[in-house]
Structure 1
Amino acid sequence: MGEPDTPMCIRCGHRQDQDANPAVRLAWSAERTTRGTRWLCPDCARAHVRDIEGKLPDEYW
């Protein structure tokens, strides 16, 4: 398990590798909500880019 502050994907549970290439870390998608920051890994963000851009609620994707 990673550090408590390590970003974790809300869709698949993948944790961001802190030792990864900085360009890979920049590929993560973040959304700030009243509950805090929610993260999507690059694979999940890529798979749901149309839903994200269309601002569809999470329940639909």
Structure 2
Amino acid sequence: MDQKTQSERVGTAPETTACARCGAVANGLPLTWTCSVENGSRVYFCDDCARTHIRSIEGRLDSSWW
């Protein structure tokens, strides 16, 4: 059987997550952090960085622009 179980498809949360903008580190994956897909990879932004750059995030600008 080559079918993956649901837990394999979904994956597990990382032990620590780092903000792609400021480098802040959190245990697990905080529900209040923002996730973005840039150049095919998933990046996370902490609350402070997300609040500061919310207009750019909503405009779907890559973080390299802000």
Pairing partner for 2:32 from 24, 27, 30: 27
Consecutive unaligned residues of structure 1, counting only runs of 5 or more, are: 19-24
> TM-score normalised to the size of structure 2?
0.63
Q: Which has the higher contact order (CA 8 A, sep 6+)?
A: 1
Tell me the number of residue pairs that the alignment of Structure 1 and Structure 2 aligns.
51
Cα pair distance change 1:16/1:43, threshold 3 Å: same
Runs of at least 4 residues off by over 4 Å = none
Aligned-pair CA distance for 1:57: 2.6
Larger radius of gyration: 2
Which string of whole-angstrom CA distances, capped at 9 and with x for unpartnered residues, describes residues 1-60 of structure 1?
A: xxx741100000001134xxxxxx2110112352x3211000000100000001123222
Q: Which residue of 2 aligns with 1:21?
A: none
**51, 56, 60: which is aligned to 1:55?**
60
- Where structure 2 has 5 or more consecutive residues not aligned to the other structure, the ranges are 1-13
Q: CA RMSD in A?
A: 1.9
